[in-house]
Amino acid sequence: MKKWTRPGFITFQEPTKLLRGAIMKDEFYMQMAIDLSKKAVENGNEPFGAVLVKDDKVVFTNENQIYTRHDPTFHAEMGLIRRFVEETGISDLHGYTLYSSCEPCFMCSGAMVWVNLGRLVYGAGNDDLEKILGNDGISTTKAVFENSFRSPKVKGGVLREESLEVLKSYFSNHNKG
Ligand SMILES: [Zn+2]
């Protein structure tokens, strides 16, 4: 089985037996996004990962790289969208599902509007993250999508506990960048 650690293009298909079995698709891809969030920390960045899926195939992955790229906007989702559209020339993602280890921020949610993303699945909510940071939080995706001219379908809270563990573990020792 592929080790889902290198961001970028995935050129092969994941094992379909797994997808037909007990593991549900959303949980399967969310686990990949969470694994990428752990990898981001190992690489010196913040704990966020994103996976782009089309027709049950992973087509692109990315992890947070704000520190190593010296770019505070290089979030997992924003970086994925930028790199994917640039490298493929595909700028309409209505047939795609993006899995994000944590609810996307305002900026990344806005980017999802502009590329016409079809579906978003996330783990812990932005309010979960803000609570860890000692703040009141709101649902960033709701705030953006409910006030936009179009929006993806949204499913939150997939593998929320696993997602929260990674966030808690990191932000108990680090400030938010
Ligand atoms: Zn973001």
- For 111-136, the pLDDT digits (tens) are 999 999 999 999 999 999 999 999 99
Sheet harboring 49-54: ordered strands across? Answer: 57-63, 49-54, 97-102, 119-124, 153-155
Catalytic residue among 14, 46, 63, 77: 77
Ligand 1 mean position to 48 CA, how many Å?
A: 9
Using DSSP's 3-state secondary structure scheme, residue 125 falls into coil
Q: Which of 124, 110, 40, 54 is nearest to 84 (CA)?
A: 54
Ligand 1 mean position to 73 CA, how many Å?
A: 7
Ligand 1 mean position to 91 CA, how many Å?
A: 18
- For 48-77, the pLDDT digits (tens) are 999 999 999 999 999 999 999 999 999 999
Position 173 confidence tier, pLDDT thresholds 50, 70, 90: confident
Q: Which of 121, 142, 145, 140 is nearest to 129 (CA)?
A: 140
Backbone φ and ψ for 101, nearest 5 degrees, come out as: -65, -20
What are 97's strand-pairing partners?
Answer: 53, 119
CA distance 66 to 81: 15
Burial environment of residue 17 by CB neighbours within 10 A (0 to 12, 13 to 18, 19 or more): exposed
Residue 2 scores a pLDDT above 50: no
CA distance 156 to 128: 12
Let me know if 63 is a catalytic residue: no
